[in-house]
Structure 1
Amino acid sequence: MARLLQFEARINYTSPIMTLRDFRIGWRTLLQDPAYSFVVIAGLGIGLAAALLLLGLVRHSWQYNRHVPDVDQVYVVKQRFNVDPKTPWFDQAPLLLRAVAAGTPGVAAATGYLPSRAETMGLTVRIDGQLRKLDSLTVLPDFAAMLGLQAVQGDLASALDKPDSFAITEEAAQRLFGTANALGKTMLAEGKLLRVGAVLRTPPASTTIPFETLLGTASVLVEKEVREELATGARGWWGKMLVRVQPGASLPAVMDALQRAVDSNPALQDQPPEVRQRLGRRKVMDVALAPLKDAYFDQDVAQNFRGRARPARAPGRDSRPGRGGAADPGAGGRELREPGGGARAAPPARGGDAQGAGRRRAPHRAAVAG
């Protein structure tokens, strides 16, 4: 009998009549002190809104580069130049590693890219008599396939192969030409006429590789020395590189192949005795692969993660005398011309201020991506 009474009491307590009465009591309590009630309810609403915004930001951050096909198999080549004992990791590496990676077992594709012009300047073009700045990349073959880029108008492969053609995103086309149907429209860049050969879907904001236009290595805007360097990496310039590995491939084996290429490169290994002594058993340059999907959260390169990396020469002997390479005794502290006309700080003379060189070579990103 006692259990039955307890059960009936529990039913009465949770009945709709009791719930409605509690609601009325609560409403009357709120009306008794409207100011306090407003503060409490507003605080609760603001707290919930802030929580939803933070959750949205977290979700957005975790979506970086997730639009890339099979992103789990795509890696960024990064390096640390140990000549400077305090240098961080950079998400750029000597361009000579692209050919090495492409020929390594287990690698499906390897590509690279550079900013078309110094990031602080951008690519300046003239359209309908007005000057505009573009966020442009000069890309190597397989770049479009690596990122899964799709042309909604035109032929992307042809646009990157022709010297007077380029590809543009829909958003950039709308901004520059007033319409996303920009196929065949022209712009003047550095006295050269270029035509839109392909219109691409605009990459999502959650990318670490942002761009508005793409140029191929055959473009009239790409200088001869830059074209050769992108193809061979002979001068030791640094650039952004991506590697797609095959399913089941050994990642340590791929990294070992890249490390051996760096260890056997004469330009990189040509260091003065004092640098060798300071290095001890450490390598001149360490090479690693980092997942592209985690690039936004890569703490190793966080301090130089401010935008796309500017092209830079690795310290070593330039193939041409007088170009201000690291082997040039007068190179330290001078400004060199970046590919495309931008200025950059030259690496120091061998045995010079390596720490300062590491700071000067640090890439500067505008935002992310990348």
Structure 2
Amino acid sequence: MIRNYLKIALRNLFRHKVYSFINIAGLSIGLAAAMLIMLYTKDEVSYDRFHANGANIYRITTEWINPDGSVKQGDGTTGYFQGPKFKDGVGEIQSYLRVRSDFRNIRQGTEIKGYEMLETDSNFFSVFSFPLISGNPATALQKPKSIVISDEMAEKLFKSTDVLGKTIEFVEEEKLEPYLITGVAKKAPQNSSVKFDFLLPMIVKNEAYQDKENWFNFFLNTFVVLSPNATQASAEANMQRVYEADAQETIKKMAKDFDIKENARYALQPITDMHLSTKFAASNGLTDASNPTFSYILSSIAIFILLIACINFINLTVARSLKRAKEIGVRKVVGGDRKQLIMQFLGESSVLCLIAFLLAIGLVQIVLPTFNQLSNKVLAFSYLFDFKLIVAYIILFIITSLLAGFYPALVLSGYDPIKTLYSRFNLTGKNYLQRSLVVVQFGLASFLIIATLTIYSQFNYLTTKQLGYDDKNLIMVDKWRMSHAQAKLFSDELLKNPNIITVAPKNGGSWGTVARVNGETQIDFAYETVNPAFLPMLKIPILQGRNFSPDFPSDSTQSVLVNETFVKKAGWKNPIGQEINFWYDKNPKYKVIGVVKDHHFNALNQEIGSQVFTMKPSNDYGRMYIKIKPNTEVASLKHIEKTFRKIFPINSYDYKFLETENLKKYEAEAKWKQIMLFGAVLTIFISCIGLFGLATLSAEKRTKEIGIRKVLGASVSSLVKLLSVDFLKLVGLSFVFAFPLAFYAAQEWLKNYPYRISIGVSIFALTAVVTIVIALLTVGGQAIRAALVNPVKSLKSE
């Protein structure tokens, strides 16, 4: 019996090649999309689950609570204090481990190269499950100037992993210091929030543990290991108790001296929650912070594509049912019952799904590199054969087979054998289900087209909007802890080249602190250390007052510039001459000498914040901005590198173009633009091949009608209209449902951006035009072909 079902299934498959191709192509694309999203989701939820003691590892998080009980801000950072203090005072905590990021220069051959590194406590390898290839995990990070490197970095630096006992020369205070390699670790897994090429021992001076103001320093990650029987809630309560008891006097002092009214609240975050946390994201040395929204969006796209493919199968199978009506009638007359017929048709759908499933595996292998590029993953094809994923694929195969084949099997097996054998059977009625499925198909496709156009428009807006300053032909060169004297020397040497227009230093990285104004008002702001050339170079206007000037020596010690947002937050009507002082130092007070026009110094997904510019001699610079003449990049860069290596011979050299760095801020949007475009193209493609099949069957059913109409004088255009208009009505109806949902989804997504486009009628009009044109081309081609057939042949057809 099963053998007979299989024969019939294969025979039908090869006899109707066009419809078989449509179903297999649609299903294989849908299944491939689903498999890729399963791979992505599996990787996302597997982060940090490989640690042997992972169930008991937590990260300490901090929230600042206002006097009214509301949360001011919070993140996953702590300082030197929290780990040892909580270990000593909280019985549930077995051990602690601190991790912080650092950037250090090392000598690599004849060059100096800069690398990201991690500083950590000596018990790193007992808390985390990172195996050492060589070295003792218990002692590898105990001594100063020791270092553990990854096997990948060992191969890069020494062309071997047998490097235990060798040294790496670090640049420290303008001289080279040797560090002893005490361990070689395997490269961290892809699904780890802690990744490293270099591990350095964290050296903390005893004085740091004596100063209780360090309760208020936050710059690293602290992990704790709880006892197996301990509860998270109990540990958190005891942590808060220890903090409030030990820091009681310090809290009062900070409130009195610096008007800090907020209080810290400590909690624990399971290490397995870090990767997908939107509240306490992985940062400060931790990598790959993600957002579960990405998984939701990708999963939705995959479901859309698979659903559309299943709709194609159902529509085409039901539409083709008239051609199999006599077969069903004969089977029923000779004793076949409905259960057997259902099994036969389900078997046929299963065979077709199996072929599509095998093709989908091949598709996944082909597109996986592109998918990795779009999703910032390094997923391997071998991941497909993970046991849990294999089970998931089997379930997916079963669900797809049932979803695609169950309804057609019920419809086909229910035909009346007498009517079918006497050719009195017709699939009459309004075919509401078939029409509804077409509406759903094109509704989903329209939804994705609108989403794609919205992301495209927002991305274009972010990358073309005026930032309030000139970032063209600006090169940035980093030099950490560059003194004001070094900056002047570097500037003077650079300006000797006629291709360089102007040079200006600035602090490296992002600095931020708090100022007190008008006696009590506290304002958070970005703290910029510049010189008089910086603002004119970037063409940032001074709206009130004046810029820093060498004609006023006191500018470097007593004066600041503020931006418009700072003035608004301070509530000043006449800002020039107003005074501010930093929260950590009541004296000296700084006088405002100018107001700088607001500009987007951060990405456009952040609102413009407060800014304060200073020339304090005690603040080192970290970056040199160099304005060059257009079309002189090669010659200018050659001079810049030569000058840098001359003045800073044992520092790593690197350069960036400011315009390029600004565009990199929107890499996530660029990738989502591509992902949504692929999703929209696939849904349109699958929908159209389904519509093509339905149009072909519709034309076949109406062969005699078309012949009679032609004999009676109907034109080709009228016949094309007759055959196309019903399908176009369904496409138009899909807009009624898709457009409101797409508008709501787009509005919700755009709320993530303080600076965003407005969704206008043009996006919906373009979507409607594109969808209708594509549908018309798909249906119209078949309609024209049917209308051009000789009516003699049409009337003779059976």
Normalised by the length of structure 2, the TM-score is: 0.34
Secondary structure at 1:89's aligned position in 2? strand
Choose which of 60, 63, 68 in structure 1 pairs with 2:43: 60
Equivalent in 225, 231, 249 of residue 230 of structure 2:
249
> Are 1:300 and 2:300 matched, yes or no?
no
- Contact between 1:126 and 1:187, CA under 8 Å: does it hold in 2? yes
- Cα distance, 1:130 vs structure 2: 2.9
Asked if structure 2 preserves the Cα contact closer than 8 Å seen for 1:107 and 1:245, the reply is yes
Amino acid at match of 2:217: W
- Aligned partners of 2:60, 2:125: CA distance in 1, in Å? 17
- 8 Å contact kept, 2:141–2:148: yes
Q: Deviations over 1:323-369 (max 9, x none)?
A: xxxxxxxxxxxxx97xxx97552421465545548x99xxxxxx9xx
Q: Partner amino acid for 1:45? A: S
Matches within 5 A, 1:192-231: 192-218=177-203, 227-228=205-206
Partners of 2:113 and 2:25 lie apart in 1 by 45
For 2:280, what is the secondary structure of its paired residue?
helix
Match of 2:98 in 1: 112
Structure 2 letter corresponding to 1:58: T
Q: CA deviation at 1:114?
A: 1.5
Instruction: Tell me the secondary structure at the aligned position of residue 240 of structure 2.
Output: helix
**Superposed displacement of residue 80, structure 1:** 1.1
Which structure has the bigger radius of gyration?
A: 2
Aligned residues: 299
Is the CA contact (8 Å cut-off) linking 1:114 and 1:138 kept in structure 2? yes
Unaligned stretches of 5+ residues in structure 1: 1-13, 219-225, 310-335, 361-366
Secondary structure of the residue aligned to 1:153 is strand
**Deviation readout 1:292-318 (Å, 9 max, x if unpaired):** 12211223224xx45527xxxxxxxxx
Give the structure 2 partner of residue 345 of structure 1: 511
Residue of structure 2 aligned with 1:148, choices 98, 104, 129: 129
Identity of paired residues, percent?
21
Q: For structure 2, which runs of at least 5 residues remain unmatched after alignment? A: 287-479, 482-506, 527-605, 610-667, 669-798
Task: Evaluate the alpha carbon distance shift between residue 66 and residue 233 of structure 1 in structure 2; reply closer, same or farther with a 3 A threshold.
Answer: farther
Match of 2:167 among 164, 168, 186: 186
Distance (whole Å) between structure 2 residues aligned to residue 141 and residue 96 of structure 1: 16
Match of 1:284 among 263, 282, 289: 263
Relative distance call for 1:248 and 1:158 in structure 2 (3 A) is: closer
Residues 94 and 158 (structure 1 numbering): CA distance in 2 closer, same or farther, change over 3 Å?
A: closer
Contact 2:100/2:284 (8 A) holds in 1: no
From the superposition, tell whether residues 210 and 295 of structure 1 become closer, same or farther in structure 2 (CA, over 3 Å): same
Kept in 1, the 8 Å contact 2:145–2:200? The answer is no
Q: 3-state SS of the aligned residue for 1:297?
A: coil
Tell me which residue corresponds to 1:92: 77
Distance 2:524 2:135 in 1: 47
Q: Does residue 271 of structure 1 match 2:255?
A: yes
Alpha-carbon distance, 1:78 to partner: 0.1
**Is 1:78 equivalent to 2:61 in the alignment?**
yes
3-state DSSP of counterpart to 2:40: helix
Query: Aligned pair in 2 of structure 1 residues 23, 82: CA closer, same or farther (>3 Å)?
Result: same
The reply on whether 1:237 has 2:217 as its aligned counterpart is yes
Establish whether residue 163 from structure 1 lines up as the match of residue 144 from structure 2: yes
For the structure 1 residues 177 and 50, does the alpha-carbon distance in structure 2 shift closer, same or farther, using more than 3 Å as the test? farther
**1:25 equivalent in structure 2:** 12
Q: RCO higher in 1 or 2 (8 Å CA, sep ≥ 6)?
A: 1
How high is the TM-score relative to the length of structure 1? Answer: 0.69
The 1:173/1:88 distance shift into structure 2, 3 A limit, reads farther
Look up the equivalent residue of 2:264 and give its one-letter code.
M
Contact 2:119 2:201 in 1 (8 A): yes
Is the alpha carbon distance of 1:94 and 1:184 closer, same or farther for their aligned partners in structure 2, counting shifts above 3 Å? Answer: closer
Quote how far apart the aligned CAs of 1:228 are: 4.5
Query: Is residue 95–residue 233 contact of structure 1 (8 Å, CA) maintained in 2?
Result: no
* 1:29-68 CA-partner distances (Å, limit 9, x unpaired): 01xx3xx654543332222122111111111112111121
Higher helix content, 1 or 2: 2
| CA positional deviation for 1:173 | 1.6
Q: Using a 3 Å threshold, how does the CA distance of structure 1 residues 63 and 15 change in structure 2: closer, same or farther?
A: closer
With over 3 angstroms needed to count, the CA separation of the structure-2 counterparts of 1:158 and 1:306, relative to structure 1, is closer
Structure 2 counterpart SS, 1:67: coil
Tell me the C-alpha RMSD between the 2 structures.
3.6
What CA distance in whole angstroms lies between the structure 1 residues aligned with 2:211 and 2:153?
Answer: 31
Q: Is the 8 A contact 2:59 2:76 kept in 1?
A: yes
Task: Tell me which residue corresponds to 2:292.
Answer: none
